[in-house]
Structure 1
Amino acid sequence: MIRRRSGTMLAAVLAAGCLLTSACSSGGGDGKAKQTSNAFYEIFVRSFADSNGDGIGDLNGVTSKLDYVKSLGADGIWLMPINPSPSYHGYDVTDYYGINNQYGTMEDFQRLLAEAHKRGIRVIMDLVLNHTSSEHPWFKNAESEANSEYRDWYVWASKLGGDVPADGAAGPAPWHKVGSDQYLGIFWDGMPDLNFDNPHVREELIKVGQYWLKKGVDGFRLDAAKHIYGDFKTTANSKSVQRKNQAWWQQFRAGLNEVNPNAYLVGEVWDTTAIVGPYLDKALNSAFNFDLAAQIIAVAGSEKATDIGFTLSRVHEFYSKNSGGAFTDAPFLTNHDQARVMTALQGNVNHARMAAAMLLTLPGNAFIYYGEELGMTGNKPDEQIREPFPWSSKSDNSSVTTWEPNNQGDIAVDAEDKDSHSLLNTYRTLLSWRKQEPALRSGTIASYETDNESVVSYLRSAEEKEEEKGKEKEKQLLVLHNVSGEPQTVELLAATKSQPTVFKKLLLATDKSAKLEGSKVVIPAYSSVVLSP
């Protein structure tokens, strides 16, 4: 039997009112609040939609599919790198102020922004600041002239003196020879690391962020955020390195605030809660919750519940202390660097359904990697995790990209769109729940004890305005997920001092045969219910 910890809400309440404009309901022109889902859809432009028949996805292709994003229920998109780059993925930038010409023009990008905002969809873009491409003019100049003004924009072994550390934090050998010297590139030789001890580098990269905010982007996903100074395994997590990383991101945030104080920053800090926390202090709004992603997939795959509510409430308590309450969690399942959800769950669509249900009933800005909602599969090498998006099962569909083979079989939007029981329509249902109930997308999370090893349960709470009185009042919901293939019955708890709420109404259910009889809830196999007082 699993024992759940009941008790008071351990998660700290997010800052009063809207923490971020981009993370809260915003007022419309009619003075009424717009419904939001606080969900971002991650798009690899090269694979998403082709508008001109060259086989490569482009910005106009993304624009043409914004109504699909809207119909899914997401109200944000994250564009993987769109800057010029010599590689297919774009994580080695040659021009921070430009658009990859395979994806289109600046005018195309501005049109995408305008059309997205017209639909209430926020746009954040990948910003790769830890390193440039080795083809960037800065580096080409630096490697060719020892006295170049850009020489000190990168890190050279000759300037370190003494022993040169060889334990690259990312795995490969970190030093790469040019002439009689070596430059640092912890990911590979095509990505030389920038020298953030150089104030000119810092100033320039702040200008880059400001430039795109002025263009109208709503924020950034920050690649390799903990590697600004995290170059070597032996020092990456040292206090001094962490402080230097934190100081840089605080400086970056301060620079962005001059243009848009509400710009949303979510960082890739692939590490433990203890490492992530300091990045949320006057710097990042969010960091992707990698530990939570692994936990959700493990629960869905094993069909064995864990106390996500307790674990996450403690994480949020820690993040709140580090940020003064000014943080937003960023839960997700997988991304462009990991095996796809359906592959991780060995092709079991019911397990994928339950992973989605857990993700989309948790607080914060939920991130969905394109194709998760269809059950796309894929594993390393990376190209197979980033395959063309299957818009149609018809071979003559012009929107489908062809830069990489499509190994998705019969999976396609048009087929799942018509199937009310498809994974796609499950995602739509869950995202509609987030729009309907603020307590499912923001606020706090806490444990709820059921003693059922097949049922994941947690409490969700958020402040909601009472329409008639215009006052804020806390609304609490109980979320129950039956992650097993058998129906489960849960006996609801009687009121206690630590948990006085009694849940009497079956508010939402993914399976219509779910029922509440007195204090007993019957939850069909592989389904979820939400109860209210």
Structure 2
Amino acid sequence: MSGFRRIVSVVCVLALASAVGACSGSKAKEISAESNVYYEIFVRSFADSNGDGIGDFNGITAKLDYLNDGKPAKGNDLGVDGIWLMPINESPSYHGYDVSDYEKVNPDYGTLEDLKKLTEEAHKRGIKVIMDLVVNHTSSQHPWFLDSAAGKDNRRNWYMWAEDQGREPTGSSAAGASEAWHQKNGSHYLGIFWDGMPDLNFDEPEVRKEMIRIGKFWLDHGIDGFRVDAAKHIYEDLATDKNKRSMDKNLAWWLEFRQAMQQSKPDVYIVGEVWDATARVGPYLKTMDSAFNFDLASTLIGAAHNENSSNLGFTLSRIHEFYNKSSDGKFVEAPFLSNHDQTRVMTALSNNLDHAKTAAAMLLTMPGNPFIYYGEELGMNGTKPDENIREPFPWKRTPGAPEETTWEPAVYRGDGSVSVEAEDESPGSLLNRYRMLISWRQMDAALRSNVIGEYKVDNTSVMVYIRSAGEEQRLVLHNLSGKPQTVPLAVGKSNPVKYANIVFTTDERAELANDELTLPPYTTVVLKP
């Protein structure tokens, strides 16, 4: 019996008897096929199929059973049902965020046929596949830009040239680059991130038309949606990213894009990188399904690290009221802990395994579509430069397995204890905790919903909130501390629902008696009325 199966057997005794019936590995009908959890993959680092040291599409296909084997009751896969592929287009860089051909895949990753096989096999397992779509800028090696720089009339206006627009080529980018304008052939072009990524001119109708055509091209090739990069920078004001005129134009473009994609695929999923304050994120949710919640990521990591709770149910419920108004009730939350641009979670948490498990528990009991960055479920370490937070994924204890990538030295590889092989065999591993938490979402519609609410407790060591789907309500409690905590749950004016049954727990020692819940250290419990 694997470590995960031993853990699940404990959970089943406490949970399924009261929630979804008797626990049995053969009763797949008792478990939903969906967890609405997405997994972000840097293709170059994930799994190599041909021995060249570079991850590829066929490598991911071979490892789909690790992500989701399509057999909900089996219990030894991660259980995600969505994959986000970081840039897969042809590009001169290792990361791919500077595209040189939007209709080709990076040959290091394989062929279009290999991608088609990946999407088909993923779909068989109930996994959706979305891809990074980088439309704010191209590579400086893209033929469009080379034509534009050469002054060819049919492409000149596809990029932003200061002299053509009567502008002074001065000013820094609101995106954070030191210089926004770069010299080429006696003129200056806009590139808000760096000179290798010239910004496209979306005031040019042909640019918008082409980007819509490209989006449809990928939907026709089996892609289920897009993560849209740098969504708020399509129309750039160099003085500030708070300019209303620029924002209105950004929103108009993304609405045009979304409506066009829905014509090809009505259920297309679009999630945006809008790294900004709540008030500025809200309007984008009328133009896309989700926007990553960067503020929430900081809150969750901070709560785990400091072992100090906040009234997250109240805060998020109020934010969601605003987001629902902004989106006509159609937005879906997109929580995460880290991504390819940020310090990895385990490093941010100073390698504290208990804190990493707590952060995972909060993330995977959040509303909407949680996103996991590859290796986060293992506790991979990493901090800037970017290559060190995008390191090869460790399948085995000892480096050198055929499927492991070697494109970049693994600075944070360690002693092999952070690997699928090692953690698969350890019941208390972070990997098995992620598997457990995702399985909860598979079994419980309330945890998969987009709804969160407030529940008041007077204990800063315990994070508490309500999750609900229709009439089904769950109370989620996380003991953030290393000490046992007792939480009174008596019905009162502020908390009118009586929660009387443990549905899920990460520790079988949790006890609910006489309207009090006793939580062992670093324990998460889900209750139902």
Is 1:61 aligned with 2:59? Answer: yes
The residue aligned with 1:424 is 431
Local SS of the residue matching 1:55 = coil
Whether 1:230 and 2:228 are equivalent positions in the alignment is no
TM-score normalized with structure 2 length:
0.91
**Match of 1:444?**
451
Is 1:490 the counterpart of 2:487 in the alignment? Answer: yes
Q: Deviation per CA, 1:509-529, whole angstroms, max 9, x where unpaired? A: 001111101201000101100
Shift of 1:261: 1.5
Does the aligned pair in 2 maintain the 1:230–1:237 contact within 8 Å? no
In structure 1, the residue matched to 2:516 is 520
Could you tell me how far 1:506 is from its partner in structure 2? 1.1
Aligned residue number for residue 24 of structure 1: none
Change (3 A) 1:68 1:403: same
Per-residue deviation at 1:148?
3.0
Structure 2 residue runs without a partner (length 5+)? 1-27, 69-76
User: What residue in structure 2 maps to residue 50 of structure 1?
Assistant: 48
**How many corresponding residue pairs?**
490
Q: Does 1:375 align with 2:382?
A: no
Counterparts of 1:236 and 1:333, CA distance in 2 = 24
Query: CA–CA distance in 1 between the matches of 2:396 and 2:196?
Result: 36
Matches within 5 A, 1:377-392: 377-392=381-396
Structure 1 pair 255–216 and aligned structure 2 pair: CA distance change class (3 A): same
- Aligned 8 A contact 2:33 2:126 in 1: no
Q: CA deviation at 1:408?
A: 2.0
- Matched to 1:352, the amino acid is A
Report the alpha carbon displacement of residue 367 of structure 1 after superposing the two structures with TM.
0.1
What is the CA-CA distance between 1:147 and the residue it aligns to? 3.6
Aligned residues of 2:98 and 2:139 also touching (Cα < 8 A): yes
Conserved? CA contact 2:129–2:225, under 8 Å: yes
Counterpart secondary structure, 1:376: coil
Question: Deviation at 1:31?
Answer: 11
Q: Which residue type is aligned with residue 37 of structure 1?
A: S
* Corresponding residue to 2:477 among 454, 471, 480: 480
Pairwise mapping of residues 203-282 of structure 1 onto structure 2 (< 5 A)? Answer: 203-232=209-238, 234-281=239-286
Q: 1:435 aligns to what SS in structure 2?
A: helix
Amino acid at match of 2:452: I
Alpha-carbon contact 1:235-1:241 (below 8 Å) kept: no
Percent same amino acid among aligned pairs?
58
- Once residues 468 and 257 of structure 2 are traced to their aligned partners in structure 1, the CA distance between those partners, rounded to angstroms, is 33
Does residue 338 (structure 1) correspond to residue 334 (structure 2)? The answer is: no
Choose which of 419, 422, 429 in structure 2 pairs with 1:415: 422
Query: Is 1:158 matched with 2:154?
Result: no
Instruction: Select the residue among 10, 32, 35 that pairs with 2:33.
Output: 35
Q: Distance in 1 between matches of 2:198 and 2:399?
A: 42
Q: Is the 8 A contact 1:495 1:502 kept in 2?
A: no
Q: Which residue of the other structure, out of 70, 87, 103, is the alignment partner of 1:81? A: 87
CA distance in 2, matches of 1:300, 1:215: 41
Q: Please give the root-mean-square deviation of Cα atoms over the aligned residues, in Å.
A: 1.4
Corresponding letter in the other structure for 1:459: I
Name the CA distance, whole Å, in 1 between partners of 2:453 and 2:192. Answer: 40
Q: What pairs with 1:251-330 in structure 2 (closer than 5 Å)?
A: 251-281=256-286, 283-330=287-334
Which residue is equivalent to 1:457? 464
1:506 corresponds to which residue?
502
CA distance in 1, matches of 2:377, 2:254: 33
Q: Partner amino acid for 1:389?
A: F
Structure 1: distance between partners of 2:33 and 2:261 = 27
Separation in 1 of the partners of 2:453 and 2:216?
A: 38
Q: How far apart are the structure 1 equivalents of 2:170 and 2:281?
A: 25
- Partner Cα distance (1:228, 1:109) in 2: 28
Matched residue of 2:109: which SS? coil
* Selected match of 2:125 from 97, 119, 134: 119
CA drift at 1:499 = 4.0
Aligned to 2:10: none
SS at 1:177's partner residue? strand
1:195 aligned residue = 201
Structure 2 partner of 1:363 = 367
Q: Please give the TM-score of this superposition, normalised by the length of structure 1.
A: 0.90
Q: How much has 1:230 moved relative to structure 2? A: 2.8
| CA offset digits 1:16-52 (Å, max 9, x no partner) | xxxxxxxxxxxxxx99994311100000000000000
Equivalent in the alignment of 2:16? none
Query: Which amino acid is the alignment partner of residue 53 of structure 1?
Result: G
Moved segments of 4+, more than 6 Å: 30-33
1:240 maps to a residue whose letter is R
Structure 1, unpaired ranges of 5+: 1-29, 464-473
TM superposition shift of 1:257: 1.3
CA distance in 2, matches of 1:217, 1:315: 31
Letter in 1 for 2:447: L
- Asked if the contact 1:339/1:380 (under 8 Å) is kept, the reply is yes
Distance 1:31 1:262 in 2: 25
State the distance in 1 between where 2:30 and 2:275 align. Answer: 39
Q: Report the alpha carbon displacement of residue 495 of structure 1 after superposing the two structures with TM.
A: 4.0
Are the counterparts in 2 of residues 267 and 287 from structure 1 also a CA contact under 8 Å? Answer: yes
SS across alignment from 1:426? helix
Secondary structure of the residue that 1:480 maps to in structure 2?
strand
Deviation at 1:493, TM superposition (A): 3.2
SS across alignment from 2:463 = strand
Cα offset, 1:165, TM superposition: 4.6
Contact 1:186 1:231 (8 Å CA) reproduced: no
**CA offset at residue 396 of structure 1?**
3.4
Cα deviations by residue, 1:256-296 (Å, 9 ceiling, x for unpaired): 11101210000000001111111111x11000000000000
Task: Give yes or no for the alignment of 1:403 onto 2:407.
Answer: yes
In structure 2, the partner of 1:20 is none
| Deviation at residue 159 of structure 1 after TM alignment | 2.2
Contact kept in structure 2, 1:509 and 1:528, CA below 8 Å: yes
Q: Quick check: 1:229–1:236 contact (8 Å CA) kept in 2? A: no
- Residue identity in the other structure for 1:35: A
